[in-house]
Amino acid sequence: MPFLQALLNGILVGGFYGFMVLGFSIIWGVMGIINLAHGEYVMMGAYFAWAMFRAFGIDPFVSALLVFPIMFVVGYVLQWLIINRVVERPHLISLLLNFGISISIANIYKLIYKADYRSVTVAYAGSFQLAGFTFPTVKTIIFFAALLIMVGLHLFLHRTRVGKSIRAAAQNKEAARIVGIDVHRVYAITAGICIGLTAVAGAMIAPIQPIFPFMGPIFTVRAFAITALGGLGRIPGALLGGLLLGIVETLLTIYVPGAGAKVGTAVSFIILVLVLITRPQGLLKGLRPVEGGA
């Protein structure tokens, strides 16, 4: 039973990871850009939830809804004004640009909020029992919210014109241009959605995660590991990769004496290195470069 309970905890954490990584994975898959500022957008979402909770007593899950349109605009404008200028140049340039953006965001937040740890304590922070298992309430809500959003995103990408144009631009941007798709606008919309969703993930974990300006890199590293496991731009892949990482992290935390909660970062790095050495194309063929040509 303790093993099954640990597995359940891992699944709940993994569901969140799968959702958290989506923005990173889709931006990489569609534009071929590695968004090193990914974790900073998680951090921005978490700070938003904290600020709204502190100022107005607004629940973090309500803040998660509010933060999406704000961060959509941030992502759209960043992409339109800055990143689109380098998106078709060598990858190193966009990598450095995003690295610069990540450092800038973290330091701006440090200037505004100082380096103190912040937290959001909600009334429903405990747990409940069901079928002999203990379900941490916040993590359970996050898990199902994440699944719901992933289903919504899947429908958006497959059923709507703009979703299809995002997939088209990811697969063959020249062919997309030639049928009348404004690829740079599609990139801006993609960045808006991805950064918006990443901030939503950040707002949702505000009740279970210490919030500080330099919390971002841990999430970026996890995003790398999950993408290596699950593949680029694939929602089921992200979920699978997230679940794998969540379960491994949780089991190690429980069963390896002295591993502690920080084991996650180490595990992420180890998984990333192992996958890159043994299967450079990714575990599920996901790390192939963005497709071009026929």
Partner 1 sequence: MSTPILEGQGISKAYGGVQALYRVNIALYPGEILGLIGPNGSGKTTLFNALSRVIPVDEGRIFFRGQDVTDARPYQMARMGLARTFQVVRVYKKMSVLENMLISRSWRGVRAWNVLRPSRRETYQRAWELLEFFRIAHLAHMPAGALSGGQRRLLELAMASMPDPEVFLLDEAMSGINPALVEEIKERIQEMRQHQGKTFLMVEHNIQFISDLCDRVVVLHQGQVLAEGTPQEITENEAVIEAYLGV
Site residues (CB under 8 A) for partner 1, limited to 253-292:
291
x-marked contacts with partner 1 along 149-178 as a string, rule CB under 8 A: -------x--xxxx-xx-xx--xx-xxxxx
Which amino acid type is present at position 291? Answer: E
> Which residue's CB is nearer to partner 1, number 134 or number 160?
160
Q: In angstroms, rounded to a whole number, what is the distance separating the alpha carbons of residues 20 and 39?
A: 9
In angstroms, give the least distance from the CB of 291 to partner 1: 7
**Min CB(286)–partner 1 separation in Å:** 12
Contact range with partner 1 by CB under 8 A, out of 137-145, 179-187, 199-207, 245-253:
179-187
Shortest Å distance, C-beta 237 to partner 1: 13
Of the candidates 55, 92, 111, 294, which one interacts with partner 1 according to CB under 8 A?
Answer: 294
Query: 12 exposed, middle or buried (CB, 10 Å; 0-12, 13-18, 19+)?
Result: buried
- State the nearest-atom distance from the C-beta of 155 to partner 1, in Å: 10
In the complex with partner 1, which residue's Cβ is closer, 170 or 245? 170
- From the list 111, 179, 261, 277, which residue makes contact with partner 1 (rule: CB under 8 A)? 179
Give the nearest distance from C-beta 176 to partner 1 in angstroms: 8
79 versus 165: smaller Cβ distance to partner 1: 165
Task: Choose, by CB under 8 A, the member of 57, 90, 132, 293 that binds partner 1.
Answer: 293
Q: For the chain, give the secondary structure using H, E and C.
A: CHHHHHHHHHHHHHHHHHHHCHHHHHHHHHHCCCCCCHHHHHHHHHHHHHHHHHHHCCCHHHHHHHHHHHHHHHHHHHHHHCHHHCCCCCHHHHHHHHHHHHHHHHHHHHHHHCCCCECCCCCCCCEEEECCEEEEHHHHHHHHHHHHHHHHHHHHHHHCHHHHHHHHHHHCHHHHHHCCCCHHHHHHHHHHHHHHHHHHHHHHHHHHCCECCCCHHHHHHHHHHHHHHHCCCCHHHHHHHHHHHHHHHHHHHHHCCCCCCCHHHHHHHHHHHHHHHHCCCCCCCCCCCCCCCC
User: Does residue 235 interact with partner 1 by CB under 8 A?
Assistant: no
For residues 22 to 41, the per-residue mask of contacts with partner 1, x marking binding by CB under 8 A and - elsewhere, is: --------------------
Instruction: Tell me the closest approach of the beta carbon of residue 20 to partner 1, in angstroms.
Output: 24
Angle at 153 between CA 78 and CA 272, to 5 degrees: 70
Compare residues 116 and 182 and give the one whose CB is closer to partner 1. Answer: 182
Question: Minimum Å distance from CB 222 to partner 1?
Answer: 26
Binding mask 181-220 for partner 1 (x = CB under 8 A): xxx-------------------------------------
- Interaction site with partner 1 (CB under 8 A): 156, 159-162, 164-165, 167-168, 171-172, 174-183, 291, 293-294
